[in-house]
């Protein structure tokens, strides 16, 4: 789906995903960790704390055993404690806030992409005052993170559908990869010819493996790829529409608005383009 996305074939067994503890046995209930710079893909890992990762700039992708989540700038990813994942960064500047699970109860389960309102964004930025690797906490920090946790818990019911499924079925993995690599001109017939499978078989197995039709997957993949292209300098709405397989800017704009809640032009403007 992007230059740094991994393939579903690399999904590890849950028991083999190593635990990465960032608080070093200090018992801190919360803290922050910034990231800025290069294109990079982390190894598979999991945390003993919940993670809220906010992207100021660039694109972040989070892959789990069941889905690939797209995190455009000015959105946040919620990654519950214990969920095995790997993250890819492309020109990204992020801040992650880590919470002890007791601070955000009933928030386990799956990764989610969340919209970030101004007050939450400013609180995440200010949380950089207290790194997760600090040796001790203090009452001000504890109170601050408790308030931030309450805001995050409220936002969990407002997730965005910015994700694609993964699969351990080799055929479905190949279908996804081929589709993602040929968004401008792919068709179901072309996928079937390339992979030597009948349309009936592909439709049946794809639906069973992912819970969506191939055409739904194609539309979501096109719109998620469009998000990565829209934030690039010198991109145009028409150019992005054609690059991901839409026949016109108007058709692309309607689909993008329905999917993201914003027009492509508003999406670009919000990110400084």
Is residue 217, in this structure, part of any structural domain at all?
Answer: yes
Is residue 197, in this structure, part of any structural domain at all?
Answer: yes
- Give 260: exposed, middle or buried? Use CB within 10 Å, 0-12, 13-18, 19+: buried
- What would the two tokens of residue 230 be? 């829209």
Is residue 174, in this structure, part of any structural domain at all?
Answer: yes
Say whether both 195 and 80 belong to one domain. no
Count structural domains, the chain.
2
Structural domain including 154 reads 8-158
At 3 the pLDDT is: 47
Start-end of H helices in the chain: 118-126, 139-155, 170-181, 188-195, 199-210, 214-230, 237-243, 249-260, 264-270
Say whether both 135 and 185 belong to one domain. no
Is residue 2, in this structure, part of any structural domain at all?
Answer: no
Specify the DSSP element, H or E, that contains 244.
none
Say whether both 151 and 265 belong to one domain. no
For the stretch 95-153, pLDDT in tens is 999 999 999 987 878 899 998 989 999 999 999 999 999 999 999 999 999 999 999 99
For residue 86, give the CATH number of its domain: 2.60.120.280
Show the CA angle centred on residue 129, arms to residues 123 and 135, nearest 5°: 130
Distance CA 81, CA 232 (A): 32
Distance CA 151, CA 76 (A): 13
Say whether both 46 and 91 belong to one domain. yes
For residue 226, give the CATH number of its domain: 1.10.10.60
> Of the candidates 158, 186, 207, which is a domain's last residue?
158
Query: What's the pLDDT band for 11 if we cut at 50, 70, 90?
Result: low
Q: Is there a contact between 142 and 29 (Cβ–Cβ < 8 Å)?
A: yes
3-class state of residue 185 by DSSP? coil
More confident residue, 56 or 140: 140
Residues 6+ apart with CB under 8 A from 215: 188
Confidence check: pLDDT of 208 > 60: yes
Is residue 216, in this structure, part of any structural domain at all?
Answer: yes
Say whether both 74 and 119 belong to one domain. yes
Distance CA 14, CA 23 (A): 22
Confidence check: pLDDT of 5 > 70: no
Average pLDDT, the chain: 91
Say whether both 152 and 195 belong to one domain. no
Query: What's the pLDDT band for 23 if we cut at 50, 70, 90?
Result: confident
Say whether both 263 and 213 belong to one domain. yes
Is residue 3, in this structure, part of any structural domain at all?
Answer: no
Say whether both 145 and 45 belong to one domain. yes
Is residue 128, in this structure, part of any structural domain at all?
Answer: yes
DSSP label of 14:
G
Average pLDDT over residues 198-225: 97
Confidence check: pLDDT of 2 > 80: no
pLDDT above 90 covers a percentage of the chain that reads 75
Confidence check: pLDDT of 14 > 70: no
Say whether both 138 and 191 belong to one domain. no
Say whether both 136 and 21 belong to one domain. yes
> Of the candidates 123, 158, 193, which is a domain's last residue?
158
Which phi and psi angles does 7 have, rounded to 5°?
A: -95, 155
At 8 the pLDDT is: 46
Say whether both 174 and 153 belong to one domain. no
Is residue 228, in this structure, part of any structural domain at all?
Answer: yes
For the stretch 32-41, pLDDT in tens is 999 987 788 9
> Of the candidates 118, 141, 158, which is a domain's last residue?
158
Say whether both 120 and 43 belong to one domain. yes
pTM: 0.88
pLDDT above 70 covers a percentage of the chain that reads 94
């Amino acid at each position: 789906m992007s230059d740094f996305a991994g393939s579903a074939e690399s999904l590890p067994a849950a028991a083999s995903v190593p635990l990465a503890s960032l608080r070093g046995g200090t018992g801190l209930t919360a803290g922050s960790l910034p990231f800025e710079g290069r294109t990079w893909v982390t190894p598979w890992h999991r945390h003993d704390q919940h993670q809220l990762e906010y992207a100021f700039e660039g694109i972040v992708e989070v892959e789990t055993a069941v889905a690939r989540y797209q995190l455009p700038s000015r959105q946040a990813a919620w990654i519950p404690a214990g969920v095995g994942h790997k993250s890819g960064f492309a020109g990204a500047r992020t801040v992650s806030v880590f919470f002890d699970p007791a601070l955000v109860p009933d928030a386990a389960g799956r990764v989610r992409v969340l919209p970030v309102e101004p007050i939450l964004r400013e609180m995440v930025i200010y949380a950089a005052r207290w790194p997760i690797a600090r040796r001790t906490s203090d009452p001000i920090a504890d109170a601050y993170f408790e308030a931030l946790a309450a805001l995050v818990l409220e936002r969990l019911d407002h997730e965005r559908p910015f994700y694609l499924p993964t699969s351990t079925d080799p055929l479905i993995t190949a279908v996804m990869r081929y589709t993602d690599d040929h968004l401008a001109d792919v068709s179901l017939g072309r996928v079937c010819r390339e992979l030597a499978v009948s349309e009936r078989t592909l439709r049946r197995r794809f639906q069973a493996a992912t819970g969506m039709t191939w055409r739904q997957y194609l539309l979501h993949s096109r719109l998620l790829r469009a998000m990565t292209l829209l934030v690039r300098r010198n991109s145009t709405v028409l150019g992005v529409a054609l690059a991901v397989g839409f026949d016109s800017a108007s058709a692309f704009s309607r689909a993008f608005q329905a999917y993201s809640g914003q027009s492509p032009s508003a999406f670009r403007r919000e990110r400084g383009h």
